[in-house]
Structure 1
Amino acid sequence: MGTVAEARSGPARERAGPDREPAGPDREPAGLERELTEAVLAGAARSDVLRALLRATGRQVRLLSAEGVPLATTDGGSGVAATVADGVLSGVAEPVVDTLDGLCATALPVRAGTTLGGVLLTVGPADPRVQALAGAAVTALLIDAVRAGDASAEVSPRHTPADVVAALRSGTVSPSVCAAAAGLGIDLRRPPAGAVLHYSGSRLRAWSTALAWLEHPVRQEGRTAWTVVSGEVVLARLQSRLRLMTGDESAGDHVVAASGFYPDSTIGLARSFIEAERLLGLARSRRVPLLTFAGCGVVQLLLPLPRAELEAYAEAHLGPIRQRPELMATLRAWLAERGSRQSVSEQLHLHRNSVGYRVRQIKNLLGTDPLIPAASAQLHLALAALDLLAADDQRLRGDDEEPVSAGR
């Protein structure tokens, strides 16, 4: 049976004589890889490599571009959808795919480091031996792609950890970003949550140094740093290390951390980062050192809402007292202390009678008793909506000062 070398003529073909390993079911991946690599270095084309794979595996073979378009095939068949090709190259898709002409195939990414050669398909159901033999062709196909210097070879830019986090945050997740993320231990098949940390201490140089020394990918912009986390334990550990490394371990409010929800795919990561930033603003306004999506309570209901709806909800339930800071502060304390006049008096440094007077004003203006369960739930949500609005304002301005909630 022939080998890839038989596709060539002259001395190169003579060197590919009977000493070569046999094709077909008895082929070993290591021997096939050696043969294919030597053949391509001697001048064989990718079409020769595909024909050799056809003989070795008994399967039709197709080489596709990064967009899923056929570059060379043994059967003239179709490619796959661009999203499928992207998933294969980024390592987030299953190896068994459906082609555009309705066939089942096993897909293998053709890439090494920053060099991307495309997607290799062997038509037919999954078979570990066939997949191993197909993998033996990757090196040869990469050599051919680089040598050709055409659109089939893409040299991807190197991504730093900060670049990877920035891409995940913006939602621009290319195959090269996915590959770099995998190299950092980020499994995008089970996407992490977006997370953000903020430093309000005075040792900014120590903060930057501490971030650089973390064995965790981060993107820093001044006092703020973005990252991804696989759980609250990871976020808490990062926060603790940063406190220690900045010398602010005893002052927990100097490093505040927050994380968003866990998305089902990389597409949802950008929104997870946005929600993490909103929760960070809320944590800072409430002086809570760590706040996660899972731990933010009813605020989960508000996070997806646009600004106009938050504003409308807050106005509907707090409108009559929104411009009365003393009443807003009293309402917050009254709800937090569950109607304890003594506790509110101590917290706000007011006489008990003054607390009672203010509470009566609140009841009259709002037309309800804040401690009635239904009213209490609505008021808690309305106050949280105001806090999110204030946090958004602070985030959009890029302020580093501590935000102040409405009514504080």
Structure 2
Amino acid sequence: MAITTAGPWSGPAREGPGPDTDPATLERELTEAVLAGAARSDVLRALRAATGRHARLLSAQGVPLAATDGGAGLPAAVAHGVLDGAAGPVVDTLDGLRAAALPVRAGTTVAGVLLTVGRCDPYVRALAGAAVTALLIDAVRAGDEQAAAVPPRHTAADVVAALRSGTVSPSERAAAMALGIDLEHPPAAAVLHYSGSRLRAWSTALAWLEHPVQQEARTAWTVVPGEAALARLRTRLRLMTGDECADHVVAASGSHPDSADDLVRSFTEAERLLGLARSRHVPQLTFGGCGVVQMLLPLPRARLEAYAEAHLGPILDRPELMATLRAWLAERGSRQSVSEQLHLHRNSVGYRVRQIKNLLGTDPLLPAASAELHLALAALDLLRSDDGRLHADGHPRDDDDPVPTSG
């Protein structure tokens, strides 16, 4: 479903049920539209066009805030039940209609209850869920009373910062439990970085995640139960920022800690792997998927430097030979493949490989030498990613531009 804008949002390009509408695409379009100035009524009309069902947004007390059919709301007790997860997904409205109900909330922020009138259909419910983020953004922007929840003693960002530092007070531990973080069986640390131009959309997307997040400019820290959760989180952020480039959001996670104290180590691993992912131009890198780098992460910088120097020293200052060695190992000695990859004549590849063998004193394809060189190259990559990763205060070196607050 296409959404067109011309100044104020003009709504969906076509009306009627849209069985081919993708919920993720609809979420991105609605979020972009609200960020551009669309109102909750516009969101409901777009949802009506996508689902073929009338939509109503109710307050936390069940009173209609906006509707495509001018219909009634819900008893306050039923609305409270939907928001608390004790009622729904099917409810009866005060004007006698059956409707599917979704809570519109994120953490302590509550924008109300979203109804789609008619039978509860999984596809329609998925499309309705795609409108939740946009409605939350509109509610906060409008300063709705139900969105102005009393802030907790410790925010989600406070909790994540405490977990990163390893100094978790009893009250922060309680706040972590309230956020769903089980510190008896803690999740893995995760770090995400955004390199696109839509910084305001990035900050807004982070604000509406169900995960507790600490953000500093382009970088965000959180915790995840596993690699699949990290992949979903990265995909959701990429869709919500609306960037066409899939590589603008990069994610990494550390190992699963045995205790809350071990989360500090997990965050350090995640930050180092994030730097490595960015240097290798891969969108996601996890502790479980980083290969031999697992063995290198605990080592101090001096040990990594010594290992790289011992095995690569004679060619470290020869970038053309380093590039050839990487390609030669990756292509398992295929001169044709290396020639195509490096745009070299086959004879030039052979000449460089002979130089490498002479300078290193070994054949890189011998099993023992290959293992050592793979490890040395990984150590070198980790050192270089450390050089370009976060400053001690948490800000990446390329994060000089501030996050805009308007416009």
- TM (normalized to structure 1)? 0.59
Q: Distance in 2 between matches of 1:185 and 1:176?
A: 14
1:229-244 → structure 2 map (5 Å cutoff): 229-244=224-239
Map 1:263-278 onto structure 2 (within 5 A): 263-278=257-272
Counterpart mapping for 1:63-212 below 5 A: 158-212=153-207
Residue type of the alignment partner of 2:387: D
Q: Do structure 1's residue 251 and structure 2's residue 245 form an aligned pair?
A: yes
Tell whether 2:377 aligns with 1:379: no
2-structure distance, mates of 1:375, 1:237: 39
Q: Secondary structure at the match of 1:294?
A: helix
Alignment partner, residue 308 of structure 2: 314
Cα deviation, residue 252, structure 1: 2.2
SS, match of residue 298 in structure 2: coil
- Which of the numbers 198, 209, 216 marks the counterpart of 2:211? 216
User: In structure 1, what is the equivalent of residue 382 of structure 2?
Assistant: 388
Q: Judge conservation of contact 2:271–2:390 (CA < 8 Å) in 1.
A: no
Distance 2:211 2:162 in 1: 16
Identity across matched positions, percent: 83
Shift of 1:348: 1.0
CA contact (8 A) 1:200 1:400 kept: no
Task: Give the letter aligned to residue 398 of structure 2.
Answer: D
Unaligned runs of 5+ in 2: 1-151, 400-407
Aligned residue runs from structure 1 range 308-387, under 5 A = 308-387=302-381
- 1:159 and 1:177 in contact (8 A); partners too: yes
CA distance in 2, matches of 1:204, 1:353: 48
Deviations 1:291-328 (A, max 9, x none): 11111111110000000000000000000000001111
Q: Give distance in 2, aligned partners of 1:363 and 1:272.
A: 39
Q: Could you report, residue by residue, the CA deviation over 1:236-263 in whole angstroms, capped at 9, with x for unpaired residues?
A: 0100001101112x52211111000111
Q: Indicate conservation of the 8 Å contact 1:223/1:400, yes or no.
A: no
Report the residue type matching 2:197 in the other structure.
S
Distance 1:396 1:210 in 2: 22
> Any conservation in 1 of the 2:255–2:269 contact (CA below 8 Å)?
yes
Read off the aligned partner of 1:337 and give its amino acid letter: E
Relative to structure 2, which stretch is displaced further, 361-370 or 338-347?
Answer: 338-347
CA distance in 1, matches of 2:320, 2:390: 27
Provide the residue aligned with 2:281 in structure 1: 287
Which runs of 5 or more structure 1 residues have no equivalent in the other structure? 1-156, 402-408
User: Does the 8 A contact of 1:219 with 1:227 survive in 2?
Assistant: yes
CA distance in 2, matches of 1:238, 1:379: 35
Root mean square deviation, CA, Å: 1.2
Alpha-carbon contact 1:164-1:177 (below 8 Å) kept: yes
- Residue correspondences, number: 244
- 8 Å CA contact 2:249–2:283 kept in 1: the answer is yes
How many Å apart are 1:205 and its aligned residue? 1.2
Q: Is the 8 A contact 2:190 2:224 kept in 1?
A: yes
Is it true that 1:302 corresponds to 2:300 in the alignment?
Answer: no
The C-alpha deviation readout for 1:114-163, integer Å capped at 9, x for no partner, is: xxxxxxxxxxxxxxxxxxxxxxxxxxxxxxxxxxxxxxxxxxx8110011
Give yes or no for contact 1:199–1:256 (8 Å, CA) kept in 2: yes
* 1:196 and 1:227 in contact (8 A); partners too: yes
